[in-house]
Amino acid sequence: MFGEFALVVAALFTGAAIYINWAEQPARLGLDDHAMLAEWKPSYARGFQMQASLAIIGFILGTLEAMVTGRWIWFAGALALIANWPFTLFVIMPVNKELGATPLERAGPKTRALVERWGTLHGVRSALGALSVGLFLWASI
């Protein structure tokens, strides 16, 4: 029972991550530097709350299903989803902090380069989510 919910949560996480890379990030990059940073700041803050929660919930559900069923593949999916946390904290967070500390009036080419880097790094989050969905789907069949 936990497994079906883990799959749904992982799919929600992945859908949000892919939406960010596919739609939001390209639209953001079409703005001037000031507007781009002004859009990134609140968007990131809200997205972080949602995706961080989904990663934790999906990890817990996948782990519980692994414990109940004894099937390691559920735990593998849970690990793929929670891997977003250390990746975000150690790899993406330095970029987030620099962007967050940049005053809007100082947005410029360096800001644009950071937002572009952020988008590339966020693609890893999309991939980890997709891996988790694939593993949970495999486990559920």
What is the number of domains present in the chain?
Answer: 1
Whole-number Cα distances in Å, 88 to 52, 65, 121: 10, 25, 9
3-state secondary structure of 20: helix
Sign, Cα dihedral of 82, 60, 7, 134: positive
Amino acid (one-letter) located at 112: R
Helices (H), the chain: 2-19, 25-29, 33-69, 72-82, 84-87, 93-101, 109-140
Per-residue model confidence as pLDDT tens digits over 14-61? 999 999 999 999 999 999 999 999 999 999 999 999 999 999 999 999
> What domain range is 89 assigned to?
2-140
**Model pTM?**
0.95
Place of tokens 């079906």: 4
User: pLDDT digits over 115-141, tens only?
Assistant: 999 999 999 999 999 999 999 999 999
